[in-house]
Amino acid sequence: MFSILVNILANATWTQNGVTIAGGNGSGNATNQLSQPFGLFVDDDQTVVIADYRNHRIMQWKNGDTTNGQVVAGGKGQGNGLHQLKWPIDVLIDKETDSLIICDYGNQRVVRWSRRSGTTQGEILIDNIGYYGLAMDEQRYLYVSDVGKHEVRRYLLGEKNGTIVVGGNGIGGGLNQLKAPTYLFVDRQKNVYVSDTNNHRVMKWNKGAKEGIVVDGGQGAGSALTQLYYPRGTFVDALGTLYVADTSNHRVMRWTQGAKQGTVIVGGNGQGAGANQFNNPMDLSFDQHGNLYVADRSNDRVQRFSIEKDS
């Protein structure tokens, strides 16, 4: 996702016990619940929007909301009407138009919903492929990963076909290939970082490159510090340090530039529902202070970890 440039010291630490800021009341569709949160996005004012996958809706929690969130898109049951979503998997806020851009995975489309109150339906931006992750660069080009075609395309808003910027060379483990790409991040130079989930690695494709660089993992599935196990959400800070939701290892990893191995910054305490545990963390982001937010899918909650040391 395109986000604020966040300054985090390379040796920063976070509280090991997360605080539940959304959901955490069991799986359900009440406004204090989530059912399998996937992608999330944190705005400048610490508002968090969440793709509430199994509830076919997007939830918003404003900083300071205690237990109840607000349904800001969908929530009208599973379906393909313009007022509905089906398994939304990622979301971002487009500040320019004050709207949500949503990957409506089950409907194989990307839709836009205005954030103005009273909005009851969205509009289709692009459709017909197996979209997964979304990101936007500063020029408001939209980047969308296609988990079925093993590529990432870049779209000028309003454009239907887009341009392949990552992959597009079939499924595989080569440096110019991907195997089920999911969440992605685009930096200020328009370099694209993408979780190459089924290759258990994160790839960086410099702008215009014909092949990528393995920046994390790529040593097979596993739990060593050199490995990832179905990685998903990615984030890159101002120093170029990469953070990854290492889903099946139930941990969040940090890779400083050029490092030979990562470090576990939170989680890694087994699969579970404790405050220092995750059960399939899917996506992550940071606010401008460096606090970490993680969509903890199978615990039906979003956790926040406060940064302990920063400039």
Ligand X SMILES: *[C@@H]1O[C@H](CO)[C@@H](O)[C@H](O)[C@H]1NC(C)=O
The DSSP bridge partners found for residue 260 are none
- Name the residue whose CB lies closest to ligand X: 24
H runs (alpha helix) in 60-175: none
32 binds ligand X (CB under 6 A): yes
25 binds ligand X (CB under 6 A): yes
- Residue number, 203 or 292, with CB nearest to ligand X: 292
64 binds ligand X (CB under 6 A): no
Nearest distance, CB of residue 237 and ligand X, angstroms: 28
Sign, CA dihedral 173-184-55-107, equals: negative
Q: Which of 13, 16, 67, 298 binds ligand X (CB under 6 A)?
A: 67
- Residue number, 6 or 22, with CB nearest to ligand X: 22
Helix (H, G, I), strand (E, B) or coil at 297: helix
29 binds ligand X (CB under 6 A): yes
Rounded to the nearest angstrom, the gap between the alpha carbon of residue 10 and the centroid of all alpha carbons in its chain is 22
With contacts defined by CB under 6 A, name the span among 6-14, 18-26, 102-110, 240-248 that binds ligand X.
18-26
- Residue number, 75 or 122, with CB nearest to ligand X: 75
Binding mask 153-192 for ligand X (x = CB under 6 A): --------x-------------------------------
31 binds ligand X (CB under 6 A): no
- Yes or no: say if 21 and 299 are a contact pair by the CB < 8 Å rule: no
7 binds ligand X (CB under 6 A): no
18 binds ligand X (CB under 6 A): no
The sheet with strand 231-236 has its strands ordered as 231-236, 242-246, 251-255, 263-267
With contacts defined by CB under 6 A, name the span among 6-14, 23-31, 201-209, 254-262 that binds ligand X.
23-31
With contacts defined by CB under 6 A, name the span among 17-25, 43-51, 196-204, 303-311 that binds ligand X.
17-25
3-state helix, strand, coil in the chain (%, to 5): 5, 45, 50
Q: Which of 7, 77, 209, 259 binds ligand X (CB under 6 A)?
A: 77
Q: Is 159 left (phi over 0), alpha (psi -120 to 50) or beta?
A: beta
Size of the site for ligand X (CB under 6 A): 9
The neighbour count for residue 71, using CB atoms within 10 Å, is 15
Sign, CA dihedral 248-297-24-225, equals: positive
Nearest distance, CB of residue 107 and ligand X, angstroms: 16
Q: What end-to-end distance do the CA atoms of the chain give, in Å?
A: 24
H runs (alpha helix) in 7-140: none
- Yes or no: say if 117 and 110 are a contact pair by the CB < 8 Å rule: no
Reading the block at residue 118, the tokens are: 């009273």
With contacts defined by CB under 6 A, name the span among 1-9, 21-29, 46-54, 196-204 that binds ligand X.
21-29
Contact residues: ligand X, CB under 6 A: 20, 24-25, 29, 32, 67, 75, 77, 161
